[in-house]
Structure 1
Amino acid sequence: MKILVTGANGFVGKNLVVELKNKGYKDIFEVTRETNLFKLENYIQKCDFVFHLAGVNRPNEEQEFIQGNNIFTLKLLELLKKHQNQSPILFTSSIQALQDNPYGRSKKTCEEILFSYSEETGAKVLIYRLPNLFGKWCRPNYNSVIATFCHNIANDLEIQMNDPNIELTLGYIDDVLDEFLQALTGKESKKVNFCTLTKTYNIKLGELAEKLHSFKTTRDSLIIPSLEKELDRVLYSTYLSYLEENNFSYKLKKNTDHRGWLAEFIKSEEIGQIFISKTKPGVTRGNHWHHTKVEKFLVIQGHAVIRFRKINSSKILEYHVNGETLEVVDIPAGYTHSIENIGEEDVITLFWACEIFDPEKPDTYYVEV
């Protein structure tokens, strides 16, 4: 299948082209502002499906809406008719088509041009009035509030917010791609004359800004915000894509003593925390128990023995573990426990605890195993 994509360098276009390649499509004709008319016509003679994503959003002059949106659409359809190519056309319109502004009017005109073309030729036309879109590779300070907020917050810049109570309707780029790939195989979601995204999200502007700010503070607090809701997960993914290339990493605080070191890695109000330690040969850690807190130990380097004793019993249990076997050991409540390095190299251990350590209520009582 030969697929033509106009606006291939734009936000949706870039994501669509790479996903088409992921799905095994090889004949993809990418049309950008630099594509000359000869090449465009050559593509149009061969294509089996058209994704018409090109458009002008923020021109310097209002006249550019007509040139970039309406005139280019007319030229595209003229060439399709010239070569009697009735390939289906998927067009990305906007919810702004319902608004009386220059951009909205230009999109509405494109819709009317495409509907007329479909009636005249019988070609299938799929028009999506898309909401505000977001995701990786979306240009900040252009026409996406999420792209702008993510970029500015990630890079210590101020954000502007006139009314935090404005409610946004959002579409995530991966959901758009899923829908477009369905449309490519004739399984589009359609209501009356227009196609729709089956999944959108609603959030107030102030709440959006609050979430994005919380993502930024994660590196200092180590507390990951709740990602239980799908919107939170895709927002976090989007936020990270706006980090500068020299800012992908951050250092953890190592608490070092004669035993080795220990560092906290990730904390979560919902699932507790993860930390990591290095223990020198012959050194024992632990010798404490908890009323309620439970943990998991995973040795990923070296040889160790994990010992347990129920606090009202004299019986000692031993689990010998090493970094080659990767055996997770559960630490139940009511058992004093320890881990001893019995090898000749440092032991490195991953720990998970079901709650974030609270120095005001540590639930930790020191008793020798």
Structure 2
Amino acid sequence: MKILVTGAKGFIGKNLIAELRNQNYTDIFEYCKETNHEQLDQYCREADFVFHLAGVNRPKDQSEFMDGNYGLTSTLLEALKKNQNTCPVMISSSIQAVLDNPYGISKKAGEDLLFEYSKETGAKVLVYRFPNVFGKWCKPNYNSAVATFCHNIARELPVTVNDPSVVVNLVYIDGVVEELIRALQGNENMVGDFCEVPVVHTITLGEIVDLLNSFKNSREERSIPDMSNSFTKKLYSTYLSYLPEDKFSYDLKMNVDHRGSFTEFIKTAERGQVSVNISKPGITKGNHWHHTKNEKFLVVSGEGVIRFRKIGSDEVIEYFVNGEKLEVVDIPTGYTHNIENLGDTDMVTIMWANEFFDPEKPDTYFLEV
């Protein structure tokens, strides 16, 4: 299948082409500003489907709206008619097409042109009125507030929100791409005369900024956002894509002594805490028990033994562990326990606890195994 994508270097175009290739679509004609008219004519002769994503969002002069959003559509459709190609054509329009502003008027003109083209030629046309689209590879300081917020907050630059209570409707780029590929396969989500991305997120600008600031702070707090919320999950992925390339990593506080170290990695109120414990050779750590707090130990390097003794019993239970055979050992409540490094090298253990350590209520009682 030969697919023409206009606006191939734009935000939606780059994401769409990347996923088309992931799904083994190999004949993709990429049209952008540098493409000449002869190439466009060839593409329009051979294409089996057209994604018309090119357009003008932020021109230097408002007259460029009509040139970019109406004029280019006209050129595309004329080339298809010249080559007698009635393949399906999808166009990216905007919810602003119903508004009386230069951008909206130009988008509405492009829609009308496509509908007339369909009546004239019988070609299938798909008009998508997108709300605000967010996700990786969107240009900041252009036409996306989310992209600008992500870029600025990731760099500790100021963010300006005139009215935090303004409500916006957003669609995530992956959802857009999934819908466009469904359209390519003839399964578009048609609502009346137009097509829509099924999942739309409604949120205020103030809430978006608050979330993004919490993502930034999560590094210092060693926390993870609530991934059960689909919008938070998508926004967090978007935010990470705007990190400066020299800021991908961040330090953790290592609690170091002669026995080794203990470092908190991730803390979540809902799913507990993950830490990394390093024990020097011959060192035993632990010798305590809990009422309600419980843990999971996973030795990933080195070798050792985890010992248990039930409170009120003299019987000691031993689990030998090493990094060559990964196995998780649950630490049940009511058992005093310790972990000893039996090897000649550092032993590294990933530890999960079901709750944060609370110095006011540690639920940790010293008792030798």
Superposed, which structure 2 residues align to 1:96-175 within 5 Å?
96-175=96-175
Superposed, which structure 2 residues align to 1:248-267 within 5 Å?
248-267=248-267
Would you say the 8 A contact 1:226–1:269 is kept in 2?
A: no
Superposed, which structure 2 residues align to 1:239-278 within 5 Å?
239-278=239-278
TM-fit CA distance, 1:84: 0.2
Q: CA RMSD of the aligned region, Å?
A: 0.7
Aligned to 2:78: 78
Does residue 34 in structure 1 map to residue 57 in structure 2?
Answer: no
Does residue 303 in structure 1 map to residue 310 in structure 2?
Answer: no
Output the CA distance in 2 between the equivalents of 1:39 and 1:145: 34
Superposed, which structure 2 residues align to 1:38-77 within 5 Å?
38-77=38-77
Q: Percent identity?
A: 59
TM-fit CA distance, 1:327: 1.1
Output the CA distance in 2 between the equivalents of 1:188 and 1:226: 31
Output the CA distance in 1 between the equivalents of 2:182 and 2:221: 42
TM-fit CA distance, 1:298: 0.4
Aligned to 2:347: 347
Aligned to 1:323: 323
Question: 1:233-254, CA deviations, whole angstroms, 9 ceiling, x for partnerless residues?
Answer: 1110000000011111111111
Would you say the 8 A contact 2:88–2:125 is kept in 1?
A: yes
Output the CA distance in 1 between the equivalents of 2:361 and 2:228: 26
Give the number of aligned pairs.
Answer: 369
Task: Please give the secondary structure, in 1, of the residue aligned with 2:93.
Answer: strand
One-letter amino acid of the structure 2 residue matched with residue 240 of structure 1: L
Superposed, which structure 2 residues align to 1:200-279 within 5 Å?
200-279=200-279
Output the CA distance in 2 between the equivalents of 1:76 and 1:224: 46
TM-fit CA distance, 1:10: 0.4
Output the CA distance in 2 between the equivalents of 1:258 and 1:160: 49
Unaligned 5+ runs, structure 1: none
Output the CA distance in 1 between the equivalents of 2:258 and 2:83: 79
Output the CA distance in 2 between the equivalents of 1:184 and 1:119: 20
TM-fit CA distance, 1:292: 0.6
One-letter amino acid of the structure 1 residue matched with residue 290 of structure 2: H
TM-fit CA distance, 1:202: 0.8
One-letter amino acid of the structure 1 residue matched with residue 100 of structure 2: D
One-letter amino acid of the structure 2 residue matched with residue 85 of structure 1: N
Would you say the 8 A contact 1:47–1:87 is kept in 2?
A: yes
Task: Please give the secondary structure, in 2, of the residue aligned with 1:338.
Answer: strand
Aligned to 1:332: 332
Output the CA distance in 1 between the equivalents of 2:224 and 2:17: 32
Unaligned 5+ runs, structure 2: none
Output the CA distance in 2 between the equivalents of 1:238 and 1:191: 28
One-letter amino acid of the structure 1 residue matched with residue 140 of structure 2: P
Task: Please give the secondary structure, in 1, of the residue aligned with 2:293.
Answer: coil
Would you say the 8 A contact 2:223–2:267 is kept in 1?
A: yes
Question: 1:83-128, CA deviations, whole angstroms, 9 ceiling, x for partnerless residues?
Answer: 1000100000000111111101100000000000000000000000
One-letter amino acid of the structure 1 residue matched with residue 113 of structure 2: I
Would you say the 8 A contact 1:255–1:262 is kept in 2?
A: yes
Would you say the 8 A contact 1:97–1:104 is kept in 2?
A: yes
Output the CA distance in 2 between the equivalents of 1:366 and 1:347: 22
Output the CA distance in 2 between the equivalents of 1:348 and 1:122: 67
Aligned to 2:182: 182
TM-fit CA distance, 1:225: 2.1
> Which deviates more from structure 2 when the two are superposed, residues 354-363 or residues 16-25?
354-363
Task: Please give the secondary structure, in 1, of the residue aligned with 2:158.
Answer: coil
